[in-house]
Amino acid sequence: MRIQSANFELSAISLDSCPDSKLPEFAFIGRSNVGKSSLLNVLSNQAALARVSKTPGRTREINFFTINRTWSLVDLPGYGYAKASASDRERFNEFVSDYLRERENLCCAFVLIDSRHEPQRIDQEFVQWLVEGEIPFALVFTKSDKVKPSAVKKNIAGFLEAMAEWSEGQPPVFTTSSKTKEGRRELLKFIEEAITT
């Protein structure tokens, strides 16, 4: 898929304020610092697409972008913000969980995981919650340029192995680097196939 346009639509703070749109949606989520903004910029060919989500005070919003006028890219707040107060965390989790559980045009949630690390509990818990809620998702292992390919492979295998204890089947898995653009084509192809079938 060639990216011809990427337009910021709106920032939502509740399910009610999400766009009244029927376009298929692809959401991106992960711990803060996992490389989400960099990946969204690379995917959309926009140097600063995800900048809005990083503005202080706006990190709990869900940001919607329309790509090629045919699908929506949804930037979800990261989980595991150390700085948010407990009550903030609760509220933000509630909105994200409402979105993931109830948004009818959500096609896939891409869960970003840092490929440098062995399986982390917070990522596993989040993925388990998706599985239990029957929310469609794929795993995206980021920053693959930062470690040896063998280490990336080992960490992915470790994650899938840990998952196998509570999940049947295997989700789609991607490996990406915003530096080398590894995985960009595969991710866009996956999205293209999902919206044309």
Return residues touching ligand GDP (CB under 6 A): 32-38, 78, 142-143, 145-146, 177-179
The answer to whether the CB of 6 falls within 8 A of the CB of 67 is yes
Q: Smaller CB distance to ligand GDP: residue 23 or 28?
A: 28
DSSP class of residue 76 equals P
Q: Smaller CB distance to ligand GDP: residue 23 or 177?
A: 177
DSSP class of residue 174 equals E
Nearest distance in Å: CB 176, ligand GDP: 7
Nearest distance in Å: CB 81, ligand GDP: 10
Nearest distance in Å: CB 34, ligand GDP: 4
The answer to whether the CB of 92 falls within 8 A of the CB of 84 is yes
Nearest distance in Å: CB 144, ligand GDP: 7
Q: Smaller CB distance to ligand GDP: residue 23 or 100?
A: 100
Task: Give the residue among 187, 186, 177, 152 at the shortest CA–CA distance from 35.
Answer: 177
Task: Give the residue among 85, 82, 78, 99 at the shortest CA–CA distance from 32.
Answer: 78
Q: Smaller CB distance to ligand GDP: residue 69 or 148?
A: 148
Query: Would you tell me how many other CB atoms lie within 10 Å of the CB of residue 72?
Result: 21
DSSP class of residue 3 equals -
